[in-house]
Amino acid sequence: MNPNKRIRKRGIGGDQILKGMVAAAAISIVALLIALAIELTNGASLSLTTYGLPFLFSTTWDPNHNIYGALPFIYGTLVTSAIALLIGLPVSLGVAIFLSEKAKGHRLAAYVLGTLVELLAAVPSVIFGLWGLFVLSPNLRTYVEAPLHKYLGFLPIFSTTPIGLDYFIAGIILAIMIIPTVSAVSRDVLNAVPNSQREAMYSLGATQWEVIRKSVLPYARSGIFGATILGLGRAVGETMAVTFIIGNSPAISASLFAQGYTLSALIVNQVGESTSPLNASAIVEIALILFGLAFVINVFARLFVVRLTRGARFRA
């Protein structure tokens, strides 16, 4: 009895210390987040009190005349992120399915390919930006945008004469940038699907496609959704690459080939050159909006995942 007791006592002491340490680490993150929100609100207070809510819906950004509005930037951020998801998600899913289902017999190949995809995530975004500007933009403009404009120019989304700096190309760059994140996480999620799920389907005579579509993907959908949100988070906040190829024009256009602007691009373009306290404050408010947008996206994603998993449980 006695030795046992001693051991337990010592254990509790260590536990307490560890608990304190990890709790401090956890709390510091919360504190950091709160401090960030407070600091942003503080910095933006001048702009918030001067312009109020109309700041969100005004479309002019003119530091020289102290007129500020955030709508073109919010619009640009949402449009480019949407394009990124629309293009990036199917490709990422394809990569994930290939790596987890199709390449199973070839572990080395899957490993090499998987590592390469992850390496893509390590490429600094400014390199994507320069590559986008000098390589991707002229080629996409000539071989994709120009024909689309020529033959489908009557559609509002293709109506602008393309110059290679627009929502569309910014969206493509973002798609390329989110693919590594989304596909790596999705692959891990698919790998985590129990083999019993697959075996059960095969035993019923299902083809591989049917197994993937009806068994693997539904089982993994909340995880895939989480991966998508991670990607969306990156797309919304991405700065350098987009700044190079979005065209940086604070306008709102239905055409994907028109020049736009994003929240993060505005911050990086103008934060060093504010000419008045009001100007600086308006830029901080843009940062606050970006912060809020990322926050809202994450909260909605959480709620959606919770609903999804509950639905799955009910069906099971």
Residues making contact with other proteins (CB under 8 A): 60-65, 67, 104, 107, 110-111, 114-115, 129, 133-134, 137-138, 141, 161, 163-165, 191, 243-244, 247-250, 259, 261, 265, 268-277, 280
The DSSP H or E segment spanning 151 is helix 146-152
Residue holding tokens 């199973």?
104
Q: Smallest distance from the beta carbon of 270 to other proteins, in angstroms?
A: 5
Q: Which is nearer to other proteins, 12 or 122 (CB)?
A: 122
Q: Smallest distance from the beta carbon of 38 to other proteins, in angstroms?
A: 20
Direct distance between the N- and C-terminal alpha carbons of the chain, in angstroms, rounded to an integer = 47
The alpha carbon dihedral of 278, 280, 283, 287 has a sign of: negative
Q: Are 249 and 269 in contact (CB under 8 A)?
A: no
Q: Which is nearer to other proteins, 108 or 316 (CB)?
A: 108
Q: Which is nearer to other proteins, 50 or 298 (CB)?
A: 50
Q: Smallest distance from the beta carbon of 148 to other proteins, in angstroms?
A: 17
Q: Are 59 and 278 in contact (CB under 8 A)?
A: no
The span from the CA of 121 to the CA of 142, in Å, is: 27
Q: Smallest distance from the beta carbon of 188 to other proteins, in angstroms?
A: 8
Q: Smallest distance from the beta carbon of 251 to other proteins, in angstroms?
A: 10
The token pair at 186 is: 């999705």
CA 33 to chain centre: 19
The amino acid that residue 215 corresponds to is S
Q: Which is nearer to other proteins, 152 or 268 (CB)?
A: 268
Q: Smallest distance from the beta carbon of 258 to other proteins, in angstroms?
A: 10
| Cα–Cα separations (whole angstroms), residue 66 to 46, 69, 271, 276 | 12, 10, 15, 9
Q: Smallest distance from the beta carbon of 4 to other proteins, in angstroms?
A: 36
Q: Which is nearer to other proteins, 14 or 194 (CB)?
A: 194
SS3 label, residue 67: strand
Q: Which is nearer to other proteins, 228 or 279 (CB)?
A: 279
Q: Are 157 and 254 in contact (CB under 8 A)?
A: yes
Q: Smallest distance from the beta carbon of 91 to other proteins, in angstroms?
A: 21
Q: Are 232 and 81 in contact (CB under 8 A)?
A: yes
Q: Which is nearer to other proteins, 44 or 232 (CB)?
A: 44
Q: Which is nearer to other proteins, 92 or 243 (CB)?
A: 243
- The DSSP secondary structure of 71-133, one letter per residue, reads HHHHHHHHHHHHHHHHHHHHHHHHHHHIIIIITTT-HHHHHHHHHHHHHHHTS-HHHHHHHII
